[in-house]
């Protein structure tokens, strides 16, 4: 009977560790998710485009608990700000605790030369985020690969800022599972040996 009790105690203790680990993972989730940030997915920074029309895609990444983004705007060089009116929202595929707000359009009739694109977002509480990219329009440029300019994807893919991590350590979840499996194995073994 003592072996059976040992196996049951091992299973119960491991179950408590598993539940505690999951709770700790949820609490510590903020340490693994990147902070809220704004990204310009197109045009790409420091890229040369051989066309005068390029796609513009701006994405704001927000933790679900933070206020929603209510506007996204851009400024090309020294021109006035332009607010993008068709704002989309989705829950990220890889970053489950982050919402994504994005807007896209096409920048037409761009002049040859260097350009700076600044993007801005505002949330429901009036907080702002901003970012920028520099790119070049050179219609005589020949790209080394057959696609001269990227086309925007239909689903945004999160790209966390450099140096951030967004995964919960596997040991928090997997660690307690092993003793549970061992405990169940011992329980079955002891029950069969008894008969």
pLDDT of residue 81: 95
pLDDT of residue 169: 54
Mean pLDDT score across all residues of the chain:
78
Task: Give yes or no for a contact between 53 and 137, defined as CB atoms under 8 angstroms apart.
Answer: no
Give the residue with greater pLDDT, 139 vs 170: 139
Distances (CA, A) of 53 to 41, 59, 139: 15, 20, 11
pLDDT of residue 187: 72
Q: Which of 12-21, 41-50, 89-98, 165-174 has the lowest mean pLDDT?
A: 165-174
Model confidence band, residue 24 (pLDDT cutoffs 50, 70, 90):
low
Instruction: Please list, in sequence order, all residues whose beta carbon lies within 8 angstroms of the beta carbon of residue 92, skipping any fewer than 6 positions away.
Output: 61, 98, 99, 100, 156, 158
How far apart are alpha carbons 174 and 20 in whole angstroms? 12
pLDDT of residue 163: 47
pLDDT of residue 165: 46
User: What residue segments make up the domains of the chain, in order of their start?
Assistant: 2-31+169-194, 37-137
pTM above 0.75, yes or no: no
Reported as a single tens digit per residue, the pLDDT across 95-134 is 456 788 999 999 999 999 999 999 999 999 999 999 999 9
Which tokens sit at 44? 């790409």
Instruction: Kindly tell me if the per-residue pLDDT of 142 is higher than 70.
Output: yes
pLDDT of residue 98: 77
Architecture of domain 37-137 in this structure: Sandwich (2.60)
């Amino acid at each position: 009977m003592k072996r059976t009790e040992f196996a049951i105690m091992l299973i119960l203790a491991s179950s408590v560790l598993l539940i505690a680990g999951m709770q700790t993972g949820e609490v510590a989730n903020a340490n693994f998710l990147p902070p809220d940030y704004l990204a310009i997915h197109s045009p790409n920074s420091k890229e040369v485009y051989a066309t005068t029309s390029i796609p513009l895609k701006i994405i704001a990444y927000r933790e679900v608990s933070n206020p929603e983004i209510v506007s996204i705007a851009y400024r090309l060089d020294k021109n006035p700000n332009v607010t993008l009116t068709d704002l989309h929202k989705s829950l990220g595929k890889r970053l489950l605790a982050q919402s994504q707000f994005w807007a896209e359009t096409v920048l037409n009739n761009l002049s040859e030369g260097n350009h700076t694109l600044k993007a801005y977002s505002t949330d429901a509480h009036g907080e702002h985020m901003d970012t920028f990219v520099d790119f070049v329009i050179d219609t005589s440029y020949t790209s080394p690969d057959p696609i001269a300019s990227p086309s925007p994807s239909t689903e945004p893919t999160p790209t966390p800022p450099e140096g951030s991590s967004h995964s919960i350590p596997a040991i928090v979840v997997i660690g307690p599972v092993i003793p549970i499996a061992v405990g169940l194995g011992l329980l079955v073994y002891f029950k069969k040996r008894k008969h």
